[in-house]
Every structure is written in structure tokens, then in C-alpha cells.
Structure 1
Amino acid sequence: MSVQSAQKAGPADAKVTPMMAQYIEIKTANPDSLLFYRMGDFYELFFEDAEVAARALGITLTKRGKHQGEDIPMCGVPVHAADDYLQKLIALGHRVSVCEQTEDPAEAKKRGSKSVVRRDVVRLVTPGTITEDRLLDAGANNFLAALTRLRGSSLGGDAVYGLAWVDMSTGSFQVCETDDQRLASDIVQISPRELILADNLLQEKDFRQTLEQAGAALSPVPRAYFDSATATDKLAQYFGVKTLDGFGVFSRAELSAASGILSYIEKTQLGERPPLDPPARQSGNGRMLIDPATRSNLELSRTLSGEKQGSLLATIDKTVTGSGSRLLASRLAAPLLDPEAISKRQDAVEFFFENEIMREGLRQTLKGAPDMARSLSRIALHRGGPRDVLAIATGLRAVRTAFEQTSKSAEYPAEIAAARTALGNAPHDLGAELDRAIKEDPPLLKRDGGFIASGYDENLDELRALRDESRKVIAKLQADYGEELGLRSLKIKHNSVLGWFIEAPTAQTEKMVADPGRFIHRQTMAGAMRFTTTELADLESKIASAGERALAIEMEIFDRLADAIVESGDLIKAAAHGLGVLDVSAALAKLAQEDGYVRPAIDGSRAFHITGGRHPVVERALKTSGGDAFVANDADLGPRTETDAGSIWLITGPNMAGKSTFLRQNALIAVMAQMGAFVPAYSAHIGIVDRLFSRVGAADDLARGRSTFMVEMVETAAILNQASDRSLVILDEIGRGTATFDGLSIAWASIEHLHEINKSRALFATHYHELTVLSAKLDRLSNATVSVKEWNGDVIFLHEIVPGAADRSYGIQVAKLAGLPPSVVERSKQVLSQLEEQDRSSPAENLIDELPLFATLQPAQPKTTRCVIEPALEELDRLNPDDMTPREALEALYMLKSSRLKNSDPIKN
């Protein structure tokens, strides 16, 4: 049964209980999400929501009563474990509306015995708006992004796109303008968990497929969210300013996207405003452009299987804080193009490289620093608890210590100096206050109480003493009365009728009876009398309400501390960022020292000279496994004269020899250099790479109807159409996905295009040895090969890149190493020998003379050759050498040779 049918139920239908009527009303207002409906200690789900959640979470589907004659499906999750279930649902792409009780059940009873406790949705949980620690990856940003498209572009072309992205857990807020060529790359660089856009855009099939490649949950919203006419006013109102001039100059597309993301945040947070930074404009011209295919091929942040382990990010990440890990990931995702800005980052790394003692002491401090930015965000959204306040206190303590630890040097690089300024400006007085206020191990939820430290508030301590030590308080009062009246037999007792009372033997109560104004008679018993006093009555009242009043005082203190934290939010966020900068710089310095990395020279030239370059991920894997040392190799792709464009290396050699590793390592070195890190090499000089392109590996895209070869050609087309003379291009085995002559022709023409049109620095690995003749006419093309040695019929890979061209592919030797059956290996050798013999009559050198440079290739017609391998083998199989004389054997050989031209079938080569 659906909620819609339940809503349409008429008067003749079965009665709807008040609780179910309330549920249906709230669910109707939130149709696009699963409704977590609070009932006591559980969140319950009903109707289709229950069926969906039960399947997704693997929990039992039950039922609760009937509606319209049918059972109502129901399932539920405990409130205390809700975060775990939310995490699973969000990971599966679901959105969840959290409906809480908004009044005390006692208040509801005052309206009548059948009154339902008021409930309302307090929050809409989506992949991009979560802030809970248990739902977040500490080392990754959780971006919510908004995309808008406007006609007419300041970048040129028919359309301009605005992108805005926010991390609600830290307050980061950025915008940029992009175009059709950069759109996919920019979205993948941001890597949002959720992408919101106008619903009409998702109706365009090709556009939707492009967006789905980013892997983000797509959330369509009305076009009114992106109204650029009101965008400026909306942003100014959100940040409480009259003009946005103080934040920078924004395009119409950027303002539209920023307005859309704020509208979505207001919708999902139901009035709560996360403490966002003012929007910062990110220029697309300031960072290296890396398209989605290249990011995937190079496994920058994830491996091809989707795992973080084994990626470049996992290999170089030695940070010890969440903010540092996120900052490192963002720098890796968007390498810089400004040599001066890169140099500032390198200066910070070099400072910690040279100051090891300071670095290690600082890293020990940073290990104990909580994630202040995320705790601050939860506190500002009224989702924080005592542990978040403690995190701010502990974090500010680490800030103070880090500031003191880095005060031993008189001169600092610009990045470290700016970070220290932020640490010094942190609200240290607030930190001291929080240290005094919060216990070391507070409960998770503030409603549990017991998180304010003893000695912080006198009244709270007194109430706790009454609550926790009422027996001691009563015993002390009893001793005081007994000493005053001289009655050792006086007792203070309690029962459910009288409450607390004073009891003494009747014969000893003269003084009490004589002072009725103080000792009020309550009851006469056989042999004893009972009294009370104003003091005892007050104490009884305090004891009865001490627990509630103690919790109320703790709540007041919490709210006061939370307000103080929010008021100092900007300073706290700046200090948290400062810790992140110190963490990243120290971590990269430690990486460089442990793994032998060097500071690369970065400038505006077209140089690309690497001496002793290594692949950071493969090298780490070899060290971890105890394997052989990584073989370092040089690369020089820079211009040969000042006026030249970059060089192209054409690399040949067998599979498994290390061609792909060599290609990837040079691309990774360029990325690491421009993110501001040291690089795995003996030395490196790199002129700024504006765009990085990589076409390595083979994969299909069946969802979009693309074969492996089609994917290869699409990616190659993107490279040849977009690469510039400042780009770095990595191409591996272009043309291998189709017929030999077709593939050779495509590879040939692609090299010529790179050389003559793109003029990019490039590494081009191939098995087409025929391409090596191009070096005779293309002056910036050099041949290189991976050296190997043969020993007893086997091939030994030396993994060294040396000048020259490979004379063979060693494919059969590699096949043997892979475990192909010996019979297949032997048969392959026979076929190869025959084919090579036929091919010697038409060497590739003839082709280079026949084709003018960058001419349109006319695919050669397949040659028809006479071959008698199968018939000859059949004849040979009939012969028995042991039964033949030498003369008979010789005659048989002549017979086979004679039948070769008569009985063979044509084989197309």
C-alpha cells in the first residue's frame, strides 16, 4: 500500500489512527525521501519506506495494524544507532527526512488522552549535507556542488557554466566559471558527493551521462533556485553584508550557482545556517587541467577498482590530522600553474625538511589535534554535543602548543608564517575556559548530562552533591540536630507518605515540642514523635529536583559555551586551517626525507628534464613487499633549442618491461611538482604543464555503447583536439584495439599531429616498431626502448629506458612467462618465423619515403601469401623416420617441398 493511497482514503475507509494520520501528513510533505519517524527510542518507517529500508538495511520488515483493510508494513532502527543506518542509506543514494518529537509527551497528555505528540521534520539528510563524524571520511571533503548553465559566455562558446561547491562540515565555499571543454574535468576535480542542478538539464541524455561519470548523487531542483537576477541579494543576505564587493568579483553564472546551493542548504537544513566561509572564486586558469580519463588512468586519488589504497594520494599521505589530509587531497586534485605560488609551498616543505627535530615534535602535537572545523560546524547547526566542545578545547590547546613549538626560528617561509599568524590569533582565552568547563571524557549526547567538570560552577556542584550524595547530606544534618539538641537517638528518616522527617523518642522531645516555630509536629507514634523543619523541607525539595536542575544548569552552560564558540568561529577555522598547512608541509617533508625525494625546479619554460625518476606507488609497493629496488630512469622532453617546442619520445619494448610504469611516473612527477611537493627523482626541472593528458590502459563503456577501441579513440581525440605546446601527453599503445594496418595508420598520424600541430611534450609507447622510422623526418621525435636480455631462450627485463628502438617485441617470451602451454608457445614460434620471413620483402623504411609528412594515409591492401604449414604438417605426421633409409628420408623431403606450392591455402597477413 502506498502513502498516496492512504492519503486519498475517504470517509468510508477504515479509521486512521491519530498517529498514522500525523505520519501520512508529514510523509506527504516529504515525498522524495525516506521518513525516519521518531517514536520513543526508535525511528520507525511505514508503507513503501519500510519496504525500501528493510531491503537496503537488511532488517526485519514487520507490520503495525491495518489501513484500508491491508497490513501496514513497518520497520525501525534504534535512535542510538541511527547514524550507522543513515550511513548505509546515504551510501546507496537515498535521502532521509528525520522527524523528531517537538514537544514533551506530558504536554501532549494535557490536550487529552488520545492526543499525539507533536512531530516535525527537523532535517533532510542527503549525501552532500551530512556533518556527523561517523558518516564522514576524516581525510576527504564532503562536497555539495551546484551546477547552472547560462547562454552566452565570457569564456567564449555558446554556453557558460557556473559551479559552486560547499563542504558543510568545514564551511568551505568556492565558485568558478567553466565551459563545455572543462566542465567534466572541473566536476571530477571537485569530486562532489552530491550535485544539484535544474531539473530541465537532466532531461538532456548526453548531458546527464556526462554528469553521471563524476559518480555524484544527482539532485534535480526547480530552475527558480538558480535565479541570477536575485542571486546577489540572496548571498548578501546570507552573509549579512550590503554588497559582495568585499568578497571579490563574480560572474553571473557563478552567482547563479552560489544562489542555488544556498537555496538547497536552506531547504535541507530547515532554517539552520551552517557557518560558511564567504565564496572564494577559483580561476580555471590557475590550476592544471586533468580530464576524468587521465585522473582515472593515473590513479591519483583512487585506483581503477575504486580503492584509495594503492593510489598516489594514499602513497604520499603522511598527514596526521583530518584537516591536513583533506588539504593534501585538494592540492593533489588541483596542481598550480603559478611558479611563484608553487615555490611558496616548496619553501614550507624544505623548511621542515631541514628542521627535523622541530618537525617531529610538531607532528606529535598534531596527532592529538581533533578536527575543530567539523566540530565547529556541528555546534553551529545545533547538532554538536559535549565531545564537540571538548574537541574545540583540545584543538585550541594543540594550537597553542604548535605555535610555541614553531617559535624557535626567526625566519619562516611565507606559508608557515601565515599559518603561525592564524595560530597566534586563535581565541586562547576561550580555549582555557573550555578546558575548565568540560570533563575529559564527556558523554556523546548533552541530554545525558555529566559533562561539565567539577569546580566549574558552584550551584551545579551543590546540586550534584544533593543528587549523588543525598545520604551524606541527610546524615550531616542529622548529626547537626542531634548535637544541637543533645539527642543521640535522633534520626532523619524517609517514607512515601511523609517524605523526609525527624524522629525521636517521645520522652526526649521536650526541646522540640517547646519550639514549634522551628520543629513542626507531623505525627505521633507509639513511643516516638515525628517532626520536620523548614530547613529539612527545603533540603527535601532540593534533593527531589536536584537531578533535573543539575541537567538544566549544564544545558545553560553548554549553550553559553556553544555561543562563544560560534562567535569565535572565524578565528577557530583559521587556526584549524593553519594546523592543516603545517601538517601538509611537515608530512611532505617527512615523505621526501624517508623516500629520497628532491625539490624540483619549476618555471615558466617548456623544460621537462628528470634525472633518476621513479614511480612513487610502485617504489613503495616494492619496499613494502621486500622486492627488488626500483630502477630509476631519466626523461628529457624539453625543447632542444630556445625556440623549439617540446620533444616526443617514442618508446618501444616488450610488455612487462616497464613502459607503462615509465609513462605514468613522469606524469605523476609533474603532478607532484606542481602541487608543491618534492618528487621521486635525483633531480627535476619542469616547465609549467598547463594540461595533463593520459591515455593508458584499455576499458570499455558498455553503458554508453562504446567498445574498448571506441573509448580509446574518444580519449585520443580529446587529447589531439585540446593539447597545447605547454601540455604533457602520455599515450600508450594507440591503435592496438583494431586491425594491424588501421591501428598503425592511426598511431602514425597521431604522432605527426602531436609533433606538427599540438607541439606538446609527449611520451608515446607502442608495439608498432614501424613507427620508429618517423624519427628520420620528425626532428623533435626520439626513439627510446626498454632494455632486455635473453638468457637460455628466456627474456630478462632490465627496466632501463635507453636510446634506440626495440628490434622485436618478445611477446612469445612474455606469453611463456604467463604460463601458456608449451605446445602453444612452440607453435607461436613457428608461425612468427614464417611471418617474419614474408615481411622482410617490404621493410617499413620504404613507407617513410613514400609518404609525405602528415599525409593522409591510404590503408594498404592485405597481402595474400601462400603458406603450407598445415598440409606440410599432415604429410610429416605420416612419416616414420625410424623406418626410413637416408635416401627415403631425402626423397620425402623433396616431396614435401614439391607439394608446398600445389596444396597450400592463402592466408591473409
Structure 2
Amino acid sequence: MIEQYLALKAEAADSLLFFRMGDFYEMFFQDAVAATAALDIALTKRGQYMGEDIPMCGVPAHSHETYLARLISKGFRVAIAEQVEDPAEARKRGGKSVVRRAVVRVVTPGTLTEETLLDARSANRLAALGEAEGRMGLAWCDLSSGEFMTAPVDAALVGAELARLRPAELLVAEGREPPPGHLVAMRPRGDFDSTAGERGLCRRFEVGTLEGFGAFTRAELAAAGALIAFVEATQKDAAVRLRPPARHLPESAMLIDAATRASLELAETQAGSRKGSLLDCIDLTVTGAGARRLAADLAAPLTDPDAIAHRLDLLGWFVGAPTIRERVRAALKRIADIERALGRLSAGRGSPRDLGLLRDALSGALDLKRLLSESRLGVPAMLAECLGRIGPHGALVEGLAAALVAEPGFSVSDGGFIAEGFDPALDELRGLAQDGRRHIAALEARYREATGIAALKIRHNNVLGYHVEVAARHADPLMAADSGFTHRQTLAGVVRFNSVDLADLAARIAEASTKALAAETAHFAALRETVLEEADAAGDTAGALARIDVAAALAELAARGGWVRPAVDAGTAFDIRGGRHPVVEAALGAKREAFVSNDCDLGPERRLWLLTGPNMAGKSTFLRQNALLAVLAQTGSFVPAASAHIGVVDRLFSRVGASDNLAEGRSTFMVEMVETAAILRQATPRSLVILDEVGRGTSTYDGLAIAWAVVEAVHDSLASRCLFATHYHELTALAGRLSAVHLATVKVREWKGDLVFLHEVIAGAADRSYGLAVARLAGLPAAVTHRASEVLTRLEQGKAKTGGIAAGLGDLPLFSAAAPATPARDALRDALAALRPDEMSPRAALDTLYDLKRLADAGGETIS
């Protein structure tokens, strides 16, 4: 057995090997050590190999998916070795023969199809990065849904495309430097041969040429070929369903790089959580396929105004038809995930339940089609196209309805999923098997009458099977040679017997059960093949339902939040009236607080806004909200605003927030500069650029110089639409010589020494940064803020005199050689400390209060 294990382990290479042993999957040697650490299960030992104990651990076969999920989530790959012959065959070979086993599948993060291992609302993509003729290409698939796509990609934009796809696993040729931040599987360079890839695709899709699928580049073919080779290597003999490859052209979607996606928190927050992201905020879909479709739409906002308009037309139709929208969403809730049921069935991991899900889902899809087709409202073009893709599945639904019980089970081996009346021969076998108890009871009654032993019973156990059991005191008549009974076993107090009639009946019952299960298994295989013959049509239905779900969900969101339809065209306008941040507004709404809306007009004459104002006033929120409105509009969603007119944004860049990358040896300032450099290299006049506090990570003069130069570059060279927030008030001087610069600030008010944030963006520039006021709000000790106020006053006085920011610092006690041993004390604080309230009369207390008031009004006098 260990020899067999080691041979399969060599085949499994870097995967953990689940080795089937009866009711368990067992692991040995280093696999066992690694698995016990990852799963927190017991490590034991079994036998010896080369004189050493063999480490071993195991997991129950019936619940192995739970353990698989934990291993896959930790980055492991797992090879599944199953028994592939009957134990009786192994016994026939004699000697030390063991049951043959073979690796039937390698489970990797990118090749999952099981319902229990996947998030129903997220795609699970396997991607491959290929190179040929000096160009790059991507291919990706989702085995759980059948998606298969390719795309040409510039080397500089590989990171942006991978950030959009978020693959669970990435295939890269051996020897190539893998992109950072991805779970990578290195594959032989031969797998990335474009010619072999083209042949492999033609063979898989049974075509002589790929011209009917698209004009693929050699790099795309290299990536697609490697992907197909990996799928076939890991899925072994499973005929996993993939749709023919379709091309995605990067220019058809808004380019959003990884840093911008993280900054804007489109699909997940910077803490890695879906909750709190834009996707989480807008996702009101009621199906898993709809949620995956919305996530894909949001990840790749469109750049074609006509395509955007079609989505908005459909959404607007649902907004204007609340009753239909409610009925559609209720109907969709009852429709199961067609794509993933098809994926499981095609991979050989489906169940009778999946057939039942498809029966009910396709039937529900036809009902929904009738509901929408009967609407008296004019149907928009995209809805008409979706309805045309649904069905007809009448024959398939009827066939599944006739064959299956109402609620089929999870396992073929359990049987009982074929409906009564579908197969008369099966019904007869079942009748014998299910009526076995009645037949046994009748035989038991006959034996009692024949022997006169009223306590005689026919029992069953896994060792003897069916047998007659009597008390020991009644056993003698049955021991007689002519009794018709054969002695089997004597125990304390009871004796057990067999009989010809009982053995015959038991054999017929067992045979009937076996034959019934075999018949049901054959029916399952036939029904599966029937379903897979219509897999493409069923997949089209699933896609149409997902699109309808997304439109109805976004319409529900718009109706609830008072969102409006944006005007999206091919111009360069960016005019938002009363815009709101969707995520922040939702969070405030939960607290019953109102969000302050703001306008933003980045027209040609004011396409670069310089935004000043204190920290915490809402500058970053304003920057992000306008970027998110562009993303939503080009996704095909209504937006939270009074009105919105947006010229298509081809590339979106957001440099907001401070972070470092210690793993790559980059400081906060280096990360900021790398991201800013990418913007300056890649942005175009049709781009939207969001920049916040450029230059803050270095000295004041360096930072100001960099920020100044970046503003000039964005204005003069890129001519992009840009929101630029800064604390360098000196930059406002650029408005006098750069024609498209517009000054804006976030309105605040000081009230009785406190800073009040009004969150209103107005024209003009902030008079100062209010940093000390914010520090006081944050709870900085009063002694520190008071000392900071002193230093600030001296700095500003010195700067006014000499122009140098550090001028005058030498006069401060902190910096002088004769600095006092103790810090200056506040006279008001000293006076308060000297009070003895318990010793004061009411009149004295009142007089003291007036004295303190006069001291406070004197303002800022200190004593040593």
C-alpha cells in the first residue's frame, strides 16, 4: 500500500495527496505533517518505512469537503486518489495485491466547482499569463460557470487587468517573474506554446479553425493553451464544460489600476473585507449569478456610450415599473444557480439535487419570460434581447419533471430520486426491496405457526444478514436434521438459524435493492447527458437571468435612494449637481444622519480643481465620491446626485491615502511617487485623475516642489480632468497662470474655539489648514497643542520677515541654549489649580469666577 501511495505521490508532485482508505482519506509522511498543522487535527503514525515510523493523519470521506475548503483557503493544492477497482478484483489477483487507486482530480484554488467550496456571489477564476511575439496575453476561465475569455494586454497594464479579474490562481511559465500579490502556479514553458495552444483549443471545441471565435493574438493563444492544459491535467477524465473562448478588448472598459481599485474600495475595503465596499453597498441582487454579473460589471465599467445607454434604458424601465420589478425580484429569488449546477454536472461532481435545481430553475425562467413578455409597457432593447435568450426548455423541463421526485437527494448512491411511474421495472424492484419487511414479517408468522414457537423472530445484522432467532430453551426442535433450519450461531440465551426460504428471500431483497440502485444510477447518467446536450442554451438562459437581476436590483437601489439617470456621452464633460458618496451616505443613513451633497464641474475651463481645507473636513470623501459616480455611471447604474453629465472616462486614477509596502521595501513616500509616476505616464485627456496630498511624505520644500510640478504636468501635458487636494496653500498661486485651474475649498467654521465641519465644497481657497484645531478635536494633550501654537506663531512671524520657514526658531525656549528647566505655565491653569472650593463662600466664589473670566479674556499670557 505504501508503494502505491508513493507512486501516486510522485504523480501528485507539489500537491497534498488525499489517499482513499475505506471511509477515510489518509495522508502520510510530510503531507500528514503539513495537513495536521493546517487543519489542527491529530498526527498519528501507521507502520514503518525504511525503519522509520510513518506519520499519518486522516479525514472522513463523507465530510472531506470541509477540510478541502480549509486547505485550499490556505493555498494548498490537493490530489484526490480514489479506489478505481472492486476489492473482489484485487483479491482475485492474490498475493499482496491491493485495490488499485488513481489520482482522479487535483483540487486547486482556481478549479473549484463544489457548492460548499465556493462563494455563490463571487466568481472563481483561473487565469494564465502568456507571451508571444513580444506581446502579452491573458486567458481566464471559471470552471463553476463555464466562462472562458482571453484578452491582449500591454505589459505595463498586466497588473491593472489582474486587479480587475482577481483570479483565485494564476498560471505563469517557469522562469518568468510572477506578478506580485497572486497565488501563482508555475507551469512548463511548453504549455505556453501558441501553436500547441491553438491545436488544443481546436481539439477541445471540435473545430478546424478558431476564426469563428475571434482574431486571437499569438500571446492570447499561448495563455489559453496553457490554461486548457492545466484544466485537463487537474480534472483528469472529467469533461468540464467551458464555453468557446470570447475576447475581451481592454479599451472597451474603463482602465482602473490596482492602486486605484484599492483606494476607491470598489470590491473590497483596504482591510480586505467586502463589507463597506462600493460593491457591498449597491448589491441588492437576489441570485448568485446576478451578484457575480454585477461584480464583473463594476470591475469593468464600459467606455461605449451606446452600450451604457442600453443598460440604463433597462434599469430605467424597471424604475418606472415598480410592480413588475417587485414580481420579477420575487420570481428570481426562487430560481437556483443554473450556471453552477451545470458546472458540477459537467465535471462529474453533480448530484440528483442539481438535476432538480435545473428543472425548477428552467421552469421558473420560462414563467419569468411569460411575465415580462405580457407586460403592457414598451420593452427596452436589452430586455427584449434577454427574453430572446431564455429557453425554450419545455421538453427538458418536462423530461426532468417526469423523471425526478419533488426534492431529489444529494447522492446518487442513496437512490430514491427517480419518481414512481417513470420506470415500471424500477418500481417493481423497489416494491420488492421496500416491501421486504412485509415479506419478512409474513415468513416470520409462518415459521411461528409451523414451529409453535410464539417468540421466534427474524432479525438482521451486518455479519449474518437475515436470520431466525429463538430463545435457547426453544432451540432443540430447530436443531433436528429434518426441521428445515440450519444452525448458525449460539449466544448466551439465544440461538440463531438460517433457512432455505429465508436465504432465498434475503437474496431477492438484496438483489432487488442492488438492481434498483443500478437502474437509478443509469437514469441519472442518461438525464445528465440530456442536460449537458442543452448546456449552451441553459447557459444563455442563466446569463439573461443574471442581467435581468442586475437591472432590477440597481433599479430597486435607485428607487430607494432617489438616484438619477446620468447622461453619459463621448464628450469630456463632468458636471455633477448635488453629488453624494454612496457608501458614506448609506452609513450615515443607518445612523439617521444626512449627507451633505456637493457639485463638481470639471468642464474645459475648470478641468483641474485645487481643493484646500482642513483634515477631517471631507476632502477625501469629495474626491472619492466623484470617482465612484463615474464608475457607477459607466457600469450602467443610476447615481446618487440631483443630476449628472459625464463624458466617458477611459482611465481612472486615484492617488488617495497613505500606505507603505514593506514587503517590497517601499516607504509611504516611495509608494506615493510610484503611483503618481504611473498616472503621469498613462493618463490621457479623457481620463479622470484624483490626487490627494501629493508630496506630503518628504520635506516641505521638496513636497511643495513636486506637487507644483505635478499640477503643471496634469494641466499642460495630460490635459486630464483632475481633482487635486492639498495642504500646500502656495499652489493656489497657480490659478493665476494656468487657465483651467479652479480653486475650491471645504467650508468650516470656528465656534467658541472649536472647529465645526460643514462638509460643503465652495469656490475659493482655505485661509489656513486648521491643523491645531483638528489636533485638539483628536484629543492631543492641551500642553502639547498650546506649545504647538507658540511654535506656529514664531514660525509664521519668522517666515513673514525672512521667507524662511525655520526663521525665528532659535528664539524659542525649546531651541535656545538657555532653555528653561521647566515648560512655561498657563496663568489661567495656575489660578484654577490654586482654588479651594470647599473653603470659599458663595460671594468669594462669584468674585473668583469674574477674576477667571477676565484672565481668560486677556488671552494667551503666560508666566514662567
Specify the TM-score bucket, using the shorter chain as the normaliser.
0.7 to 0.9
Describe the SS at the equivalent of 1:451. Answer: coil
Choose the corresponding residue for 1:140, options 100, 122, 132: 122
Contact 2:796 2:805 (8 Å CA) reproduced: no
Choose the corresponding residue for 1:417, options 377, 384, 395: 384
Seen in structure 2, the aligned counterparts of structure 1 residues 842 and 351 have a Cα distance that, compared at 3 Å, is farther
Contact 1:638 1:647 (8 Å CA) reproduced: yes
Partner in structure 1 of residue 786 of structure 2: 826
Choose the corresponding residue for 1:218, options 178, 181, 184: 184
Q: Counterparts of 1:475 and 1:712 in 2: how far apart (Å)?
A: 83
Partner in structure 1 of residue 845 of structure 2: none
Describe the SS at the equivalent of 1:731. Answer: strand
Question: 1:862: how far off?
Answer: 6.4
Deviations 1:650-705 (A, max 9, x none): 00000000000000000000000001111111100000100000000011111111
Partner in structure 1 of residue 836 of structure 2: none
Greater mean alpha carbon deviation, residues 427-436 or residues 746-755: 427-436
Question: 1:458: how far off?
Answer: 2.0
Q: How does 1:382-781 map to 2 (within 5 A)?
A: 382-409=348-375, 411-423=378-390, 425-473=391-439, 541-626=507-592, 628-640=593-605, 647-781=607-741
Partner in structure 1 of residue 46 of structure 2: 64
Contact 1:651 1:766 (8 Å CA) reproduced: yes
Deviations 1:727-773 (A, max 9, x none): 00000000111101110111111101111000000000001111111
Seen in structure 2, the aligned counterparts of structure 1 residues 470 and 880 have a Cα distance that, compared at 3 Å, is closer
Contact 1:655 1:811 (8 Å CA) reproduced: yes
> 1:734 corresponds to which letter in structure 2?
V
> 1:193 corresponds to which letter in structure 2?
A
Find out whether 1:186 has 2:151 as its counterpart. Answer: no
Find out whether 1:352 has 2:352 as its counterpart. Answer: no
Deviations 1:499-521 (A, max 9, x none): 999xxxxxxxxxxxxxxxxxxxx
Partner in structure 2 of residue 83 of structure 1: 65
Partner in structure 2 of residue 508 of structure 1: none
Contact 1:396 1:426 (8 Å CA) reproduced: no
Describe the SS at the equivalent of 2:402. Answer: helix
Question: 1:535: how far off?
Answer: 12
> 1:338 corresponds to which letter in structure 2?
D
Partner in structure 1 of residue 171 of structure 2: 196
Greater mean alpha carbon deviation, residues 465-474 or residues 340-349: 465-474
Contact 1:130 1:136 (8 Å CA) reproduced: yes
Q: Counterparts of 2:809 and 2:436 in 1: how far apart (Å)?
A: 107
Q: Counterparts of 1:500 and 1:770 in 2: how far apart (Å)?
A: 99
> 1:637 corresponds to which letter in structure 2?
L
TM-score (norm 2): 0.88
Partner in structure 2 of residue 107 of structure 1: 89
Partner in structure 1 of residue 299 of structure 2: 333
> 2:778 corresponds to which letter in structure 1?
A
> 2:556 corresponds to which letter in structure 1?
K
Deviations 1:108-129 (A, max 9, x none): 2222263201100000111111
Deviations 1:856-885 (A, max 9, x none): xxxx89657642444697399899999xxx
Find out whether 1:175 has 2:150 as its counterpart. Answer: yes
Q: How does 1:818-897 map to 2 (within 5 A)?
A: 818-841=778-801, 866-870=810-814, 874=820
Q: How does 1:204-283 map to 2 (within 5 A)?
A: 208=178, 211-213=179-181, 216-283=182-249
Partner in structure 2 of residue 895 of structure 1: none
Count of paired positions: 795
Contact 1:727 1:761 (8 Å CA) reproduced: yes
Question: 1:361: how far off?
Answer: 0.8
Question: 1:558: how far off?
Answer: 0.5
Choose the corresponding residue for 2:102, options 100, 105, 120: 120
Find out whether 1:51 has 2:19 as its counterpart. Answer: no
RMSD of aligned alpha carbons: 3.0
Seen in structure 2, the aligned counterparts of structure 1 residues 500 and 687 have a Cα distance that, compared at 3 Å, is same
Q: Counterparts of 1:701 and 1:543 in 2: how far apart (Å)?
A: 69
Choose the corresponding residue for 2:256, options 282, 290, 297: 290
Question: 1:229: how far off?
Answer: 2.1
Partner in structure 1 of residue 284 of structure 2: 318
Q: Counterparts of 1:861 and 1:786 in 2: how far apart (Å)?
A: 26
Greater mean alpha carbon deviation, residues 821-830 or residues 402-411: 402-411
Describe the SS at the equivalent of 2:170. Answer: strand
Describe the SS at the equivalent of 1:587. Answer: helix
Describe the SS at the equivalent of 1:201. Answer: coil
Seen in structure 2, the aligned counterparts of structure 1 residues 545 and 769 have a Cα distance that, compared at 3 Å, is same
Deviations 1:298-333 (A, max 9, x none): 000010010000000000000011110000000000
Question: 1:262: how far off?
Answer: 0.7
Question: 1:419: how far off?
Answer: 1.3
Describe the SS at the equivalent of 1:834. Answer: helix
Seen in structure 2, the aligned counterparts of structure 1 residues 56 and 535 have a Cα distance that, compared at 3 Å, is closer
> 2:149 corresponds to which letter in structure 1?
Q
Partner in structure 2 of residue 16 of structure 1: none
Q: Counterparts of 1:499 and 1:832 in 2: how far apart (Å)?
A: 97
> 2:168 corresponds to which letter in structure 1?
R
Describe the SS at the equivalent of 2:111. Answer: coil
Contact 2:797 2:808 (8 Å CA) reproduced: no
Seen in structure 2, the aligned counterparts of structure 1 residues 51 and 581 have a Cα distance that, compared at 3 Å, is same
Seen in structure 2, the aligned counterparts of structure 1 residues 739 and 32 have a Cα distance that, compared at 3 Å, is same
Seen in structure 2, the aligned counterparts of structure 1 residues 357 and 867 have a Cα distance that, compared at 3 Å, is same
Describe the SS at the equivalent of 2:689. Answer: strand
Question: 1:60: how far off?
Answer: 0.6
Q: Counterparts of 1:459 and 1:536 in 2: how far apart (Å)?
A: 24
> 1:180 corresponds to which letter in structure 2?
A
Seen in structure 2, the aligned counterparts of structure 1 residues 571 and 498 have a Cα distance that, compared at 3 Å, is closer
Seen in structure 2, the aligned counterparts of structure 1 residues 238 and 863 have a Cα distance that, compared at 3 Å, is same
Seen in structure 2, the aligned counterparts of structure 1 residues 443 and 608 have a Cα distance that, compared at 3 Å, is same
Structure 1 residue ranges without an equivalent (≥5):
1-18, 152-158, 203-207, 481-488, 502-521, 527-532, 641-645, 844-859, 883-909
Question: 1:408: how far off?
Answer: 2.5
Contact 1:415 1:581 (8 Å CA) reproduced: no
Q: Counterparts of 2:630 and 2:459 in 1: how far apart (Å)?
A: 81
Contact 1:426 1:572 (8 Å CA) reproduced: no
Q: Counterparts of 1:336 and 1:499 in 2: how far apart (Å)?
A: 70
Contact 1:297 1:696 (8 Å CA) reproduced: yes
Structure 2 residue ranges without an equivalent (≥5):
447-452, 469-480, 486-498, 831-864
Partner in structure 2 of residue 515 of structure 1: none
Partner in structure 2 of residue 905 of structure 1: none
Q: Counterparts of 2:66 and 2:193 in 1: how far apart (Å)?
A: 37
Find out whether 1:782 has 2:742 as its counterpart. Answer: yes
Partner in structure 2 of residue 857 of structure 1: none
